[in-house]
Structure 1
Amino acid sequence: MTPTNRTKLSRLPKRGHHDTATIYPILDAGLVCHVSYQLDGQPFLIPTAYGRIDNTVYIHGSVGSHFFRQLAQGVPVCVAVTHVDGLVLARSAFSHSVNYRSVVLFGQTRLVDDPDEAWAALERITEHLMPGRWADTRPPSASEMKKTMVLAIEIEEASAKVRTGNVNDDPEDLDLPHWAGVVPVSLQYGQPIQDPIQSKDIAVPDYIASFKG
């Protein structure tokens, strides 16, 4: 993706990436995106689950949602996904940092009115959260589909920014007697907790029991 003034990084541009080989995996590894837009001069930002198919990000919500009704009109949005991979603790307070992977993308919302596309989008969102889940559930009914709004955001342009590595203290601070290093941060999934009213005869599926994210 060719950067413009919206996505060209002005600070630490060496950490920036505009290729889909970097951008797509960061999007696919996230659980929640933050969608921002402006309405009558008032900025709004909403966290929501999502899924990606090719160069399009899909989100869904209730047809009664004020947020979704506004976005359904086709408005420009900015979407962000961020992963924190480590706390970088330096000898000086100023040099502290964070190891991270982030994507900021721009596009325009589009109401998905094609039933096949809406179905595929909902399947992708479900599979994004838990691979293997869509085929192991009751599919949405016609009534449920009528209550659900699906929006598509084609990625017009995007940038990724990534920070990895260790501490970058100034040379004059290297002999200070303060511990320095990186505290790794990762998302961990615990043991599945079964619905207490469900029969214990229904075992945890392998795709859930072995899920590591």
Structure 2
Amino acid sequence: MQPTPQPTQPAAYSPTDRTVPTRAAEKASYDREVVHSILDDGYVCHLGFVRDGAPVVLPTLYARAGERLYLHGSTGSRPLRMTGRTDPGLPVCVTVTHVDGLVLARSAFHHSINYRSVVVHGTAHQVTDPEEKRLALDALVDQVVPGRSADSRRADRKELAATAVIALDLAEVSAKLRTGGVNDDPEDLALPHWAGVIPVTRTYGAPVPSENLRPGTKTPGYLSAL
């Protein structure tokens, strides 16, 4: 079923033992809007879980819908099979990271990166409600290219049966960010080495039409907006 709307959510998530970093705690944020903005700016996450006593980390697509993350997979994939048979679900850790800049200091020790990241801990469950599953798949498509789900054929019954979605509620969450410039030691400022920040941005090229595209099909405006 769809999650119950919660219009009066607090402005921040509550820190827990797992969401308070042991290093550089001043870079942590539990602000709900900050967490949402980082999640909304990406579409690839890393899903971590334990299988047969060993850690496993897999890259996969995700989408945020309110206070819930949806993760995409095949019905034959390990985490999807495990969420289907594990009661009361599969303990997971999901991470999302964006690199915004390379910070080059005069000393090798103080080299760093500017970044935004989110870590989510919780128990994932397989989505079995048909309507929620359709909405989740639409959200996954739109997370990658906003507006695309309305401009493509929705999954049919066979495709739905071959596709699995797991859901993870945003409850135990933290963000961590690094911004700004170089933090060299005072005694290194006179060294003759270049120092500064190299910005890193995500860009898209011009859309390349399929060779068998129907004649007269124009490039959609939502692609131009990318």
Hey, what's the Cα distance between the residues in 1 that align with 2:142 and 2:183? 39
Hey, what's the Cα distance between the residues in 2 that align with 1:192 and 1:37? 36
Partner of 1:197: 212
Partner of 2:6: none
Partner of 1:135: 150
User: Tell me, what secondary structure is at the counterpart of 1:124?
Assistant: helix
Hey, what's the Cα distance between the residues in 1 that align with 2:14 and 2:213? 52
User: Tell me, what secondary structure is at the counterpart of 2:203?
Assistant: coil
Question: Mind listing any 5+ residue stretches in structure 1 that lack a counterpart?
Answer: none
User: Tell me, what secondary structure is at the counterpart of 1:58?
Assistant: strand
**What's the offset of the Cα at 1:200?**
4.2
Hey, what's the Cα distance between the residues in 2 that align with 1:100 and 1:71? 31
Deviations 1:40-77 (A, max 9, x none): 21110110011011111001222122332123331100
Hey, what's the Cα distance between the residues in 2 that align with 1:115 and 1:181? 51
Aligned residues: 211
- Candidates 121, 137, 141, aligned match of 1:126: 141
CA contact (8 A) 2:127 2:167 kept: yes
Does residue 1:92 correspond to 2:104, yes or no? no
Question: Mind listing any 5+ residue stretches in structure 2 that lack a counterpart?
Answer: 1-12
TM-score by length of 1: 0.96
Partner of 1:4: 16
- Candidates 174, 178, 202, aligned match of 1:163: 178
**What's the offset of the Cα at 1:3?**
1.0
Does residue 1:147 correspond to 2:162, yes or no? yes
Partner of 1:17: 29
Partner of 1:63: 75
User: Tell me, what secondary structure is at the counterpart of 1:21?
Assistant: helix
Does residue 1:81 correspond to 2:93, yes or no? no
Hey, what's the Cα distance between the residues in 2 that align with 1:157 and 1:151? 17
Partner of 1:176: 191
User: Tell me, what secondary structure is at the counterpart of 1:182?
Assistant: strand
Does residue 1:42 correspond to 2:54, yes or no? yes
Q: Which moved more, 1:45-54 or 1:142-151?
A: 142-151
Relative to structure 1, the CA distance from residue 67 to residue 92 in structure 2 (aligned partners, 3 Å threshold; closer, same or farther) is same
User: Tell me, what secondary structure is at the counterpart of 2:206?
Assistant: coil
One-letter amino acid of the counterpart of residue 125, structure 1: L
User: Tell me, what secondary structure is at the counterpart of 1:49?
Assistant: strand
Deviations 1:86-106 (A, max 9, x none): 000000000100000000110
Partner of 1:185: 200
User: Tell me, what secondary structure is at the counterpart of 2:57?
Assistant: strand
Q: Percent identity?
A: 47
Hey, what's the Cα distance between the residues in 1 that align with 2:136 and 2:123? 17
Runs of 4+ in 1 over 3 A off after TM superposition: none
For residues 198-213 of structure 1, the aligned pairs below 5 Å read 198-211=213-226
